[in-house]
Amino acid sequence: MMLYYEFKAALSRGEYAPIYKIGGEDKYWSELAYKDLLALSSELDTEILSDDQPVDDAIFGVGSFPMMSERKIAVVRDRKLKEADVKILSSYLKNPSPTGILILYNCEGSLPGAKEFDFGIVQEGELVPYLTRLAGEMGGSITESAAHKLARYAELSMTRIKNELIKLVPVGEITDDLVESYVEPSYSYRVFDFTDAIAKGSYKGAYDVLSSLARNAYEYSPFFTRLTDYVRLMLHTKLAKGESDADLAKKMGVSPYPLQKAKKAASAYTSRRLLSILMKLYELEEDFKTGNIGVENAMDLAIAYAIEERNG
């Protein structure tokens, strides 16, 4: 069950916490949760602290009696919690106001006892049904396969997906062809497809991906750099022993989605062959950046070398 659904279910049951800590990698979900909490009170009974206001003001705000609704809400947002802040909030948690809700939105730092929701990237299988419903709520419709394609093109980022839906819904039913025509795949998505094709030994698949790029150094250079980074990630997934995907993703500074894609692509190679490919990419990148060869030639050589290593 998606974390956001768990959050909404608790609210619908009337299970409210005195302090909520809302944040996470995908701002779309955290913003939805934040707005849901604000909707529990009226504007007159809600106080959003400015940057220079102390946390004490939030405690005072939720402690006063609500005027136009059942609850008082105070918001502390976009700041790093100081040690003194944590002490004040921890003390409040020992005897919270029965009619108050204090929201820590997008705040750094830990607060034991707060109800914390850290909204990360939602997996594709859970996301697709949500996209179907969301498209309907926006007055449109989307096929299941198109929802999968849109999710992949946007690397599961709901912030970007929502923006793309705003653009797509007025056009008509959202199909695979419509997504392909209107949505620009991210560089990372192209890298995923590119390395998947190479891992399968498909020259055609690799060059089909490249055909979506203008054949000039401006487009090829950043793509080559992303490719090198991704192959390094593939190697790390191969070498990691006993580490969970979540721990490895955190250590590598990536989200779980590209990590899972890298693991799948890496399965076609041994660690030694991946290291060999990575060293070759470093060499080719240096060659085209110093002008020894053109970037298109470097890409051609990289494709041939990687496929040969797979088949070797």
Are 192 and 298 contained in the same domain?
Answer: yes
Confidence of residue 215 (pLDDT cuts 50, 70, 90): low
Q: Could you give the CA distance from residue 182 to residue 276 in angstroms, rounded to a whole number?
A: 38
* Of 111-120, 162-171, 185-194, the least confident: 185-194
- Name the phi and psi angles at 21, rounded to 5: -115, 110
Provide DSSP, 205-226. HHHHHHTTS-SSHHHHHHHHHH
Helices 144-153 and 124-137, axial angle in degrees (round to 10)? 110
Domain boundary among 158, 182, 206: 182
Is residue 179 classed as helix, strand or coil in its secondary structure?
helix
| 24 and 50 housed in the same domain | yes
Residues 228 and 307 in one domain: yes
**Where is the domain boundary, 83, 99, 118?**
118
What CATH code is carried by the domain that includes residue 72?
Answer: 3.40.50.300
pLDDT higher for 261 or 312? 261
Residue 217: pLDDT over 60: no
Residues 178 and 191 in one domain: no
Q: What are 160's two structure tokens?
A: 């970007």
| Mean pLDDT, the chain, whole residue set | 90
Can you read off the two tokens belonging to residue 79?
């700041």
Reduced to 3 states (helix: H, G, I; strand: E, B; else coil), residue 76 is strand
Task: State the pTM of this model.
Answer: 0.70
Domain total for the chain? Answer: 3
- Domain coverage including residue 175: 124-182
What region does 108 belong to: left with phi over 0, alpha with psi -120 to 50, or beta? beta
Answer yes or no: do 153 and 215 share one domain. no
Q: Does the structure show a pLDDT above 60 at 37?
A: yes
The CATH number covering residue 223 comes to 1.20.272.10
Mean pLDDT of 7-21: 96
Chain position carrying tokens 């090198």: 228
Domain edge (last residue) among 141, 156, 182: 182
3-state secondary structure (DSSP) of residue 191: helix
Q: Which of 57, 43, 53 is nearest to 102 (CA)?
A: 57
pLDDT, mean of residues 264-278: 91
- Give yes or no: residues 111 and 7 share one domain: yes
Matching residue, tokens 């609210």: 11
Answer yes or no: do 147 and 98 share one domain: no
Write out pLDDT tens, residues 236-257: 998 987 788 878 888 888 877 7
Poorest-pLDDT segment among 51-60, 220-229, 252-261: 252-261
Question: Residue 188: its pLDDT value, please?
Answer: 78
Is the confidence at residue 214, as pLDDT, over 60?
no
When pLDDT is averaged across residues 90-112 and rounded to a whole number, the result is 96
- For residues 199 and 305, state if they share a domain: yes
Q: Is the pLDDT of residue 219 over 80?
A: no
Q: What is the CATH number of the domain that holds 149?
A: 1.10.8.60
**Same domain for 211 and 286?**
yes
Structure confidence at residue 216 (pLDDT):
53
**89 and 12 in a common domain:** yes
As a whole number of angstroms, the distance between CA 282 and CA 274 comes to 12
